[in-house]
Chains A and B, each alone.
Chain A
């Protein structure tokens, strides 16, 4: 076990270092491919070795404790941030990094940092297992996809200086950071991995080095460093609590007093990392990075770290005001972000808002702290990682082929890129039609909110109702665009042939994953997620999880398979063809129709974006303020109400 985890963390770092030095694609691509396979295999091996039992704790070989090493790494990272911040004339990031280092050094120097238990440095349970699979399988698929994607990306963006060695190196270091994060039990060590992911995301977002992306990269850095500062403060609070800075001990039961204050600060860190409001703008800014970055950040790694921490904290927050406030931050995020998504025309931004909304839901589930909602949270993680990862990669492929990010230009996708449409439809279906996808998560959440007493339960259900309808609206718009058809010429039909085999392979694998996990949901629930939820809340009594009847399962499987299968079959169907109705005078193949007085007009079809009813920018600001207020209240309650 120890050696496998060490491999999972150490090997990608090694690969990252090597890739930094390799500048030739012909050498780099095989290294990326082989390393990805190795990491994926190691993830599977780890899971098999663990064997789906209860949580295990272990340390490093030889019982070494990483105290000094952690400080060294922290100093290095802080130095890097200070240098790069000053080089770009940003002051906030260096200040926060130094502050965080100061806290750590203070604790270390004054001897208040307790010794880590050498046998409890790492904690591996079913949740870690799920996360390791997500990172190891989906993360590596994204790395492989990037091989094909970056080749096209740089060809279509010749102004951007290619630093692909840095790009791929960062992807692997990122994976290492995530592996470390989800298996750590010792909080200071977890913080180091946390900050590694912060740094990697900063460097990846700023990859293209345009002034715009540098701005977004620093925004991400600032917000995540703020969260890290909260994390550091939590550690400081916990230093004299005789818990040994042990995450498992902290979260074993509902917390109170100083422990609850620390939990509130850790929840704060989780909220910033998972881009919930008021910290959503960094994730939106990350959309300007190349697609594999977005896919990696948004679906399978970075943001999942945030909600992973929130789920870990869930038993500790259970039933407390802090917990309820975390829930409202999550639900508020879900609602406002869905409102904004409805007005958004850029496809990747719609996907980003959808991600933030889903993360808000997971956070909401974590805040309430019951086994049922923990079950829901983990389910959303699984489905979201697969479906959203697939969608980001597919959108990246479409962008590279059609040179557009605008939803309005995605129309007639089924005609122009038929095979890609199948993948897109699988992804969208997985996101919001699938059983146990977001739909069942919403169902389970509402069921659970019914049990929450008082006005809070009602408020939660009302927010869910409106938010959920908004998601149908924007997914529906995208679906219409993908499914629309027209006649296409020879040239247009040839475009799809230029999609690289890396993209087909990885996106196809993810699509298969979506369907496979959907079909196996019963097994996954009974054997993995259910037992996890029960073991995380030992005091909660007996529970039956959602009773999913076979009839429902059949119906939902039909629903999720319907659209992709239709896309596959559509082109061979025979039917009585006809022009569409256009008052008797139709548009020709280039969408130009004869107009009055002998003139001509071109026909454009445009989605509704609810102008005049919903003001996207206003909603974003209102959500930021509202959730910011709730967040402040959460920390205040945690700190003051001892």
Chain B
């Protein structure tokens, strides 16, 4: 029996973003959406997390950080890119320091579009991420 679908813990990382998607992510934790109902916990710590929720894009400075965090997360793990910036760089894609979306650095499992992405989309994305998590676990089990 797998418990990952019942207890998916999230690490939220903000790359180079305007914080719009971050506010929407936090909104998911508020009483209006309350993702804790599904056992979702926002941990601040890669070692405790199953799902890496990334907002904002990758720039020169945070490449190593994103890699570091992803490397520290124990298996099985999935990455959910939230918002246009995380998916592809968004409207900042051509800026001098932006490398692009998160998939330039780490493998992304779920893309959640939007600018800013709505909480419902984010929750949908997390749910798909959980399914991907279960699939990975079955593969390695």
Q: Interface on A for B, CB 8 Å cutoff?
A: 576, 578-579, 581, 583-586
Interface residues of B in 90-120 (CB under 8 A from A): none
Q: Which residue of chain B is the closest to A598 with respect to CB atoms?
A: B61
Q: A578-B71, A581-B47 are in contact. List 14 more A-B contacts (CB 8 A).
A: A576-B74, A578-B47, A578-B72, A578-B74, A579-B68, A581-B72, A583-B65, A584-B62, A584-B64, A584-B66, A584-B69, A585-B64, A585-B65, A585-B68
Q: Which residues of B contact A585 (CB under 8 A)?
A: 64-65, 68
The CA-CA distance from A603 to B66 in the complex, in Å, is 21
Measured CB to CB, the closest approach of chain B to A581, in angstroms, equals 6
Q: How far is the CB of A600 from chain B (nearest CB, A)?
A: 14
Decide if A579 touches B64 in the complex (CB within 8 Å): no
CB distance B64 to A581 under 8 Å?
no
How far, in Å, is B78 (CB) from chain A's closest CB?
18
Chain A min CB distance to B56 (Å): 14
Name the B residues within 8 Å of A586 (CB-CB): 68
Complex Cα–Cα for A585 and B69 (A): 9
Q: How far is the CA of A584 from the CA of B47 in the complex (A)?
A: 11
Q: How far is the CA of A585 from the CA of B65 in the complex (A)?
A: 6
The closest CB in chain A to the CB of B75 belongs to A576
How many Å lie between the Cα of A584 and that of B72 in the bound state? 9
Number of interface residues of B (CB under 8 A): 12
One of B45, B66, B72, B74 near A579 (C-beta < 8 A) = B72
Closest residue of A by beta carbon distance from B47: A581
Bound Cα distance A578, B46 (Å): 11
CB A575 to nearest CB in B, in angstroms, measures 12
Complex Cα spacing A578 to B68, Å: 10
Closest CB-CB distance, A53 to chain B, in whole Å?
63
B24 to chain A, nearest CB (A): 23
Interface string of B33-76 (1 = CB under 8 A from A): 00000000000011100000000000000101110110110100
Contacts of A583 in B (CB 8 A): 65
Tell whether, in the assembled complex, residue B45 and residue A581 are in contact, meaning their CB atoms are under 8 Å apart. Answer: yes
Bound CA–CA A578/B62 (angstroms): 20
Taking CB atoms, residues of chain A closer than 8 Å to B74 are 576, 578
| In the complex, chain A residues whose CB is within 8 Å of the CB of B72 | 578-579, 581
Once the chains bind, are B65 and A584 in contact (CB under 8 Å)? yes
Complex-state Cα separation, A373 to B7, whole angstroms: 55
Distance A579 CA – B71 CA, assembled complex (angstroms): 9
What are 23 A-B pairs at a CB distance below 8 A? A576-B74, A578-B47, A578-B71, A578-B72, A578-B74, A579-B68, A579-B71, A579-B72, A581-B45, A581-B46, A581-B47, A581-B72, A583-B65, A584-B62, A584-B64, A584-B65, A584-B66, A584-B68, A584-B69, A585-B64, A585-B65, A585-B68, A586-B68
- CA A585 to CA B71, docked complex, whole Å: 12
CA gap between A578 and B70 in the complex, in Å:
12
CB contacts (< 8 Å) of B45 on chain A: these are 581
Residues of B within 8 A of A584 (CB): 62, 64-66, 68-69
Return chain B residues, CB-CB under 8 Å to A578. Answer: 47, 71-72, 74
Alpha-carbon separation in the docked complex, A581 to B45 (Å): 8
A578 to B74, CA, bound (A): 9
In the complex, chain A residues whose CB is within 8 Å of the CB of B64: 584-585
Q: How far is the CA of A409 from the CA of B135 in the complex (A)?
A: 48
CA distance A431 to B50 in the complex (A): 43
- Chain A residue numbers with a CB within 8 Å of B69 are 584
Q: State how many angstroms separate the Cβ of B126 from the closest Cβ of chain A.
A: 22
> In the complex, A576→B75 CA distance in Å?
11
A576 to B68: give the CA distance in the assembly, Å. 16
- Residues of A near B62 (CB, < 8 A) are 584
Identify the closest chain A residue to B13 (Cβ).
Answer: A584
Which 9 A-B pairs have CB atoms at the shortest separation, nearest pair first?
A584-B65, A584-B68, A584-B69, A578-B72, A585-B65, A581-B45, A581-B47, A581-B72, A581-B46
State in angstroms the CA–CA spacing of A578 and B72 once bound together.
Answer: 7
Residue of B with least CB distance to A585: B65
Contacts of B47 in A (CB 8 A): 578, 581
- Contact code string B81-93 (vs A, CB < 8 Å = 1, else 0): 0000000000000
Q: Which residues of B contact A579 (CB under 8 A)?
A: 68, 71-72
Smallest CB gap from B73: residue in A: A578
Across-interface contacts of B71 in A (CB, < 8 A): 578-579
A586 vs B46: C-alpha distance in the bound complex, in angstroms?
A: 13
Measured CA separation A583–B65 after assembly (Å):
8
- Cβ-closest chain B residue relative to A594: B64
| Distance of A48 Cα from B135 Cα, bound (Å) | 73
Which residue of A581, A584, A585, A586 has the most chain B CB atoms within 10 A of its CB atom?
Answer: A584
| A578 to B47 alpha-carbon distance, docked (Å) | 9
Residue in A closest to B62 when the chains form the complex, CB atoms? A584
Nearest residue, chain A, Cβ from B68:
A584
B72 to chain A, nearest CB (A): 6
Q: Nearest chain-B residue to A576 (Cβ)?
A: B74
Question: In the complex the two chains form, what is the Cα distance from A557 to B76 in whole Å?
Answer: 40
| Most chain A CB atoms below 10 A, which of B46, B68, B69 | B68
How close is A616's CB to chain B, nearest CB, in angstroms?
35
Query: Distance in Å from the Cβ of B87 to the closest Cβ of chain A?
Result: 21
* A contact residues around B46 at 8 Å (CB): 581
Q: Least Cβ distance of A475 to chain B in Å?
A: 29
Q: Separation in Å of the A584 CB from the closest CB of chain B?
A: 4
The chain A residue with its CB closest to the CB of B65 is A584
How near does chain A come to B113, taking the closest CB pair, in angstroms? 26
Complex CA–CA separation, A585 to B67 (angstroms): 10
Q: With the chains together, A389 CA to B123 CA distance in Å?
A: 63
Least CB distance, A642 to chain B, in whole angstroms: 71
User: What is the bound-complex CA distance between A581 and B74, given in angstroms?
Assistant: 12
B38 → A minimal CB distance (Å): 25
Task: Please give me the residue from chain B that is nearest to A586 by CB atom.
Answer: B68
Tell me, in angstroms, the Cα distance from A186 to B46 when the chains sit together.
72
Write the nearest CB–CB distance from A466 to chain B, whole angstroms. 35
Q: What B residues does A581 contact at CB under 8 A? A: 45-47, 72
A589 to chain B, nearest CB (A): 16
